[in-house]
Amino acid sequence: MRLITLIFIALALLIQYPLWLGHGGWLRVHELERQLQLQNKTNDDLRARNDKLSAEVHDLKEGAGAVEERARYELGMIKEGEIFVQIVDPPHAAADAVQAGKLAQPATAPPATPVPEATPAPSSAH
């Protein structure tokens, strides 16, 4: 009787081995599900990035506003008849902000100085 019990226990363990540790076992399935979730998240992130880039391409192809915005901010171009004004913080304010470890917020704005009219950037219209 004792021998039959040991044989049944051994057979039960042999049957359980592939279920838990085999090629299609629970541990493998769990690992594959985790990898699938990571890949789905990566795909969603890339899909959102592609949608954003597609919208930007559409704006650049169809709208003049996007081209003008890029020309202004990335290339520093200005329209004909516009005056370019650049406001720069005094050097001591930047040094004080670094020493204090925070952003400097002046109590009053520095007086505006007249800026000579700049020559317009060459037109790139074709």
DSSP SS3 for 21 = helix
Let me know if residue 58 belongs to a domain. yes
pLDDT digits (tens, 9 = 90+) for 87-99: 888 877 666 666 6
Let me know if residue 86 belongs to a domain. no
Q: How many domains does the chain have?
A: 1
DSSP SS3 for 24 = coil
Mean pLDDT of the chain: 78
SS (H, E, C) 69-107: HHHHHHHCCCCCCCCCCCCCCCHHHHHHHHHHCCCCCCC
Let me know if residue 47 belongs to a domain. yes
Contact between 21 and 30 under an 8 Å Cβ cutoff? The reply is no
Least confident stretch, 35-49, 55-69, 72-86, 112-126:
112-126
Contact between 121 and 78 under an 8 Å Cβ cutoff? The reply is yes
pLDDT digits (tens, 9 = 90+) for 47-59: 999 999 999 888 8
- Describe the chain by its helix, strand, coil percentages, rounded to 5: 65, 0, 35
Q: List the domain range (segments joined by +) for residue 28.
A: 2-78
